[in-house]
């Protein structure tokens, strides 16, 4: 069963995610980041690659897209909060969106 991040895991992983642009969501145990690309084509390409990863990981983000902007929110529904799945997902998004 998936478990929420322990305090130790939060101290180990959240600071580097925050440095990369992720922020905690007020009022819930979740993180979000806005990725901005050159145009819709780049944004859609990012979303397509993230969708393939999400399908394989069986872990799907909440997201919102308008033209070149993609907002990604992560939280694990199975445990009602942040888990290592979200940390790994955020790290994957960071690699893809390095230039965003």
- Domain assignment present for residue 1? The answer is no
CATH, residue 38:
3.30.1360.20
- For 21-50, b/e burial (b = at least 16 CB within 10 A) is ebeeeeeebbbbbebebeeeebbeebbeeb
Give 2-14 pLDDT, tens digit per residue. 999 999 999 999 9
CA distance 75 to 51: 16
**Band of pLDDT at residue 100, cut at 50, 70 and 90:** low
What is the count of structural domains for the chain? 1
- Domain assignment present for residue 74? The answer is yes
Give 53-66 pLDDT, tens digit per residue. 999 999 999 999 99
- Domain assignment present for residue 2? The answer is no
Q: Report the chain's mean pLDDT, rounded to a whole number.
A: 95
Which carries the bigger pLDDT value, residue 26 or residue 98? 26
**Kind of pairing between the strands at 62-66 and 31-36:** unpaired
- Domain assignment present for residue 67? The answer is yes
Q: Which domain holds residue 17?
A: 7-96
């Amino acid at each position: 069963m998936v478990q929420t991040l322990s305090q130790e895991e939060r101290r180990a992983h959240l600071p580097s995610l925050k440095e990369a642009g992720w922020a905690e969501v007020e009022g819930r145990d979740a993180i979000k980041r806005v990725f901005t690309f050159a145009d819709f084509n780049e944004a859609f390409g990012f979303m397509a690659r993230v969708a393939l990863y999400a399908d394989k990981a069986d872990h799907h983000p909440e997201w919102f897209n308008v033209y070149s902007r993609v907002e990604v929110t992560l939280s694990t529904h199975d445990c009602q909060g942040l888990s290592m799945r979200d940390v790994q997902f955020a790290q994957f998004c960071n690699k893809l969106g390095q230039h965003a």
